[in-house]
Amino acid sequence: MHEWYILKSVVERRDKKYHISKKELNELIINKTDVKIIKELLKSGNLTLKELRERIKRTRISIYFSLKKLESFGFIIKNGSMVSLSENNALNIFKKLVSEKFDFDYIIGERLDVLNSLMEWKSPDDISHKLGMSTSSVYKYINQLMPLLDKSKNRYRIKRDKRLLMEFVRFMRDDMKSKNKEFIEIWSHRDEMLIKTGKPFDGALTSFSRFHEFGVKINDDYMNFMYYFKPKKNLMPEEILVHSIKSSENKDMLSHSIAFFMKNKEIMNQLMIERLANKFDVMDLWMDIYSYITNNENIKNRDMFISKDEFRRRFGFECSVKKIGENMKGDTDYSDEVLLISK
């Protein structure tokens, strides 16, 4: 009966809302009904609401909520009583996960929040602090998610070979954030913030949004967003580079960061890049870039790098140096004040 009151309060926009428990709110993120609906539509194509109800054995109310949610995510299209799947990148990822027999229980409720936190190395205490979740709950979810995770001492992250899962989690994270904000936060620390947004923002353009100024043409697919750093200030090339590495969501994006470095290494300082990479928690990727361009096979995140042949075809020049420090600016080329900005 309580589901009816939830529906009634939403549809009729009553001032007095029915109380929804934390558990119910978590299940409004991704739940089993959502997954069942998509799987049925993948098998059968267009279905009426009546057919959906008969096939997935759920109440009208739960189907109603799921359809509203899936429509907002761009997964489905409703035409009268007919429901069909839309065509977009997120749904394509979902289809591939289904074909790989992915267990969608891993992304139901708060597990999705935990996975979102584990896109990069985090300790249980880090996750607890970020999500406002008890440490015992974090450990419980980590134990449930272990088949998907790497572990290093007391830190965890999603396995790098789970690219589809990472893309799906990233989409869900960005979609939810964009519903509540006009921008998506990529990184923040104290009063500093790196964001991407579809609208002008009060900050300094950075990352891929500045590459054209440095001779690197960006694929139009990445220009749906603008990247900003706040507070607004004049940014050094090293900062723009590291911001782009932090913003890179796949190997295609990271290849542009590498091209930026190769074209502009003479005006950049290696020590500053390393300090910034540490600050923005991308030291692993920066060391992989170092290995990649110096032809060292010791690359941890191999799936974040295109082949050297593909790089040459894409950018028109070789990606290879004997040593990164060659022809780069030294510390003496910068004032102490500039060198300290990366600390």
74-83, 182-191, 202-211: range with highest mean pLDDT: 202-211
Residue 78: per-residue pLDDT? 78
CA 140, chain centre distance (Å): 23
Does residue 335 have a pLDDT over 70?
A: no
CATH number of 2-86: 1.10.10.10
2-86 and 88-177 share one fold: yes
% of the chain at pLDDT higher than 90: 36
| Residue with the larger pLDDT of the pair 272 and 70 | 272
User: What are the structural domain ranges in the chain?
Assistant: 2-86, 88-177, 181-340
83-92, 93-102, 278-287, 294-303: range with highest mean pLDDT: 278-287
Burial (0-12, 13-18, 19+ Cβ within 10 Å), 268: buried
Burial (0-12, 13-18, 19+ Cβ within 10 Å), 164: middle
CA 296, chain centre distance (Å): 28
Does residue 14 have a pLDDT over 60?
A: no
Mean confidence (pLDDT) of the chain: 81
Note the pLDDT tens digit of each residue in 284-311: 999 999 999 999 888 988 889 999 999 9
Question: Are 213 and 225 within 8 A, CB to CB?
Answer: no
CATH number of 88-177: 1.10.10.10
Note the pLDDT tens digit of each residue in 216-249: 988 765 567 899 999 999 999 999 999 999 999 8
